Structure 1
């Protein structure tokens, strides 16, 4: 995708969110429903998703078919439209701007603040509170915080998966390194210790030392956002209006990561690609779903995130679903979403998506989603982390600042760059956007 295309996407989403905020304020979104929210007849609902996985859609369709059967007077069909993840937000906002908004949408946590604060997502609390047996109190408070505003819920994070570290134990042994669980037991499982192991793997084998689940150099928030929290780093203020990339903790983190790549060789340089599942990396930071692609070619383990200068911070990556304010059938869509995410159906979804429900954080439930993980791995790297985990930081104007930050960071990913200067440039670029000036 070109920079001009990405700028158009940011402009489109900005215009859409501004328009939807006005629509919400004026009480829009009633569509084909009468004054009390009751539809004129059975309606067709549509949800956009970014997955084309047949297993995912089989569960989605199973839940939807059961809902249609139970509510024939409300709904005639529920369809799930898969959009490519790389252009997902662009395609979704184009539909909204063109008057073709879906009834529901699945979005990543990076855009949650933008969809919630702008009024793109409708309030789900009334429908969820009225749904029999929904058990709102079962939802993990930390899991729904990003999707809430003033005590109301606007999105449901049906995928709530903690990040952890996969270790290729064969490569670590080949490089003369200890078992990471020994470091966990002694309280020495830190990011510095992890990268020291990675540097040894890189220097003594043909494999990479450490890789992240995404490209650390282009996907700065997705690949690094779950790490800098352990430095106490906050790239922007709590309300999102002030740039804090120049704060000492942020500068320290990026300087540290730069050192691991360009001086220690602990992580690949820009443009270098390695595949953990093929035995090409000693350590990989990812989520439990990555375990399904691992076999018995080498011995591996799945571990909790290490500690940083500010301690150990458990982090989850989320996919959330909400009802679009411009849906033609918001009342029915909210009722379906309450059904889609109730305890019974959350258990079905848990076959692929770790749920944000305390009652379902069990080894038996999660073993269905990650059959390759042992009970100890599920308990220590998933369940124990989920209870206290926070989400990666999003921003109410993420679509506008994501590319300026990435472009400025390009100058950091060189051998002799100056981290403080790059962070200062980032703030110069994004402050006019986030401050409203």
Structure 2
């Protein structure tokens, strides 16, 4: 063989060998999330991370809410859970008990991660008994969302919504507005003596579901505005108060908007069609929903606005929730997974998320970017941030043990009330006793 050709051949073989070794050392980290709206932002974060960390590849997996949690929990037992996954406050306590999450606290301390960058209170939600089981990624509150055209047709100034009051006895001016925006097939609104509640073509208020154990985007804002809280405001509480008269009265009023008055759809309609679909079909004027849904509502074929929550006996109250990224204890690539989680929780990634304007990132400066994205589009979503920043304006998602069992009990109970099969006064004390027995 020609010496020059031999030299080139050997050089090529050496190069291929080096490339082969590098490829053999590449690590793929599976990362799971459930929100399709957020996926593009995290795909960009993944691309940026891979560029800065050669040899670590991020494979993003997305499933809808129910399928997502089935896959996560099934994977614990089949050894097939993603290395890193988006976690929820309703789920992680049980995962900690099952010893399925990596305690990040030693890694945080080892690497000197600055956790003070997050909005006050977010990191604490993911800590228990000295352990930390996720780095915060975002936060959310709830506001009143409305169809601008429907308000205009009813002669309602959107600014009026910010001053609505509510109470569980007669619903206050909030219920008056709901009635005013509810129309039957003959054009009568809910304030008219001729209103036909069995022939409604436009509902004044839509709700998302029966609300389960937390009622996050359903009844929690109303109930909390009476001074009631799921566990009395105690983080990791062991006593629930679903039997409190304030809660019972709130639930009776809430589902009475449909059962007694016809101002909202039936649970069957909500379950079959979904709150968002009914709203976008032009069949509902107002609803409550979380800040992570802003972009979905702005995708409607009509203008949408965002207003403050009604003022209850104890003020405006929104549940405050936040997601985090957790590492599965069964990962074969702990170091690489931790590097990815650190990046997800960093200003570099959260700035990218803020620029996409889908959610409010956990780092305040990045959250301001989300607010600005919408402002640049002429959309005011400050109702969410004002609620978060208002003194005593938020309360925490109920974080306790036995989340799965409590969810099962309260799903059945709240659905039976919403369907009119029982009353709040009859069902809630018994359900509360059953929930609290779990802690005995």
Asked if structure 1 preserves the Cα contact closer than 8 Å seen for 2:27 and 2:57, the reply is yes
| 1:151 CA displacement | 5.8
Is 1:106 the equivalent of 2:86?
yes
Q: Which residue does the alignment assign to 1:167?
A: 146
Asked if structure 1 preserves the Cα contact closer than 8 Å seen for 2:248 and 2:425, the reply is yes
Closer/same/farther in 2, CA of residues 365 and 427 from structure 1, 3 Å limit: closer
1:221 is aligned, of 215, 223, 227, to 215
Is 1:234 the equivalent of 2:213?
no
Is 1:145 the equivalent of 2:114?
no
Is 1:51 the equivalent of 2:35?
yes
Provide the rounded CA distance (Å) in 1 between the counterparts of 2:151 and 2:427: 34
Is 1:385 the equivalent of 2:367?
no
| 1:347 CA displacement | 0.9
Asked if structure 2 preserves the Cα contact closer than 8 Å seen for 1:367 and 1:373, the reply is no
Q: Which residue does the alignment assign to 2:103?
A: 123
Q: Which residue does the alignment assign to 1:360?
A: 366
| 1:41 CA displacement | 5.5
Provide the rounded CA distance (Å) in 2 between the counterparts of 1:267 and 1:82: 32
Correspondences of 1:334-349 after superposition (within 5 Å): 334-349=338-353
| 1:355 CA displacement | 0.6
Provide the rounded CA distance (Å) in 2 between the counterparts of 1:224 and 1:98: 37
Asked if structure 1 preserves the Cα contact closer than 8 Å seen for 2:88 and 2:322, the reply is yes
Is 1:319 the equivalent of 2:313?
no
Closer/same/farther in 2, CA of residues 279 and 372 from structure 1, 3 Å limit: farther
Correspondences of 1:152-231 after superposition (within 5 Å): 152-176=131-155, 178-182=156-160, 184=162, 187-190=163-166, 192=171, 193-203=173-183, 204=188, 206-212=201-207, 214-216=208-210, 221-222=215-216, 223-231=218-226
Closer/same/farther in 2, CA of residues 316 and 280 from structure 1, 3 Å limit: farther
Deviations 1:291-320 (A, max 9, x none): 434368544320122222222113344332
| 1:283 CA displacement | 0.5
Gaps of 5+ in 1: 1-39
Which 10-residue stretch deviates more, 110-119 or 92-101?
A: 110-119
Provide the rounded CA distance (Å) in 1 between the counterparts of 2:28 and 2:421: 57
State how many pairs are aligned. Answer: 383
Is 1:429 the equivalent of 2:407?
no
2:285 is aligned, of 282, 285, 296, to 282
Q: Which residue does the alignment assign to 1:400?
A: 405
Closer/same/farther in 2, CA of residues 57 and 257 from structure 1, 3 Å limit: closer
Q: Which residue does the alignment assign to 2:251?
A: 254
Asked if structure 1 preserves the Cα contact closer than 8 Å seen for 2:320 and 2:397, the reply is yes
| 1:218 CA displacement | 6.3
TM-score normalised to structure 2 length: 0.76
SS in structure 1 of the partner of residue 401 of structure 2: coil
Closer/same/farther in 2, CA of residues 302 and 125 from structure 1, 3 Å limit: same
2:47 is aligned, of 47, 65, 68, to 65
| 1:165 CA displacement | 0.8
SS in structure 2 of the partner of residue 232 of structure 1: coil
Asked if structure 2 preserves the Cα contact closer than 8 Å seen for 1:112 and 1:146, the reply is no
Provide the rounded CA distance (Å) in 2 between the counterparts of 1:107 and 1:95: 14
Deviations 1:113-171 (A, max 9, x none): 33356543323344445658x64212112333322224653223323122111122332
Q: RMSD of aligned C-alpha atoms? A: 3.0
Gaps of 5+ in 2: 1-23, 190-200
Closer/same/farther in 2, CA of residues 217 and 146 from structure 1, 3 Å limit: closer
Provide the rounded CA distance (Å) in 1 between the counterparts of 2:133 and 2:422: 42
Q: Which residue does the alignment assign to 2:12?
A: none
Is 1:95 the equivalent of 2:75?
yes
Q: Which residue does the alignment assign to 2:13?
A: none
Closer/same/farther in 2, CA of residues 416 and 322 from structure 1, 3 Å limit: closer
Provide the rounded CA distance (Å) in 1 between the counterparts of 2:427 and 2:29: 47
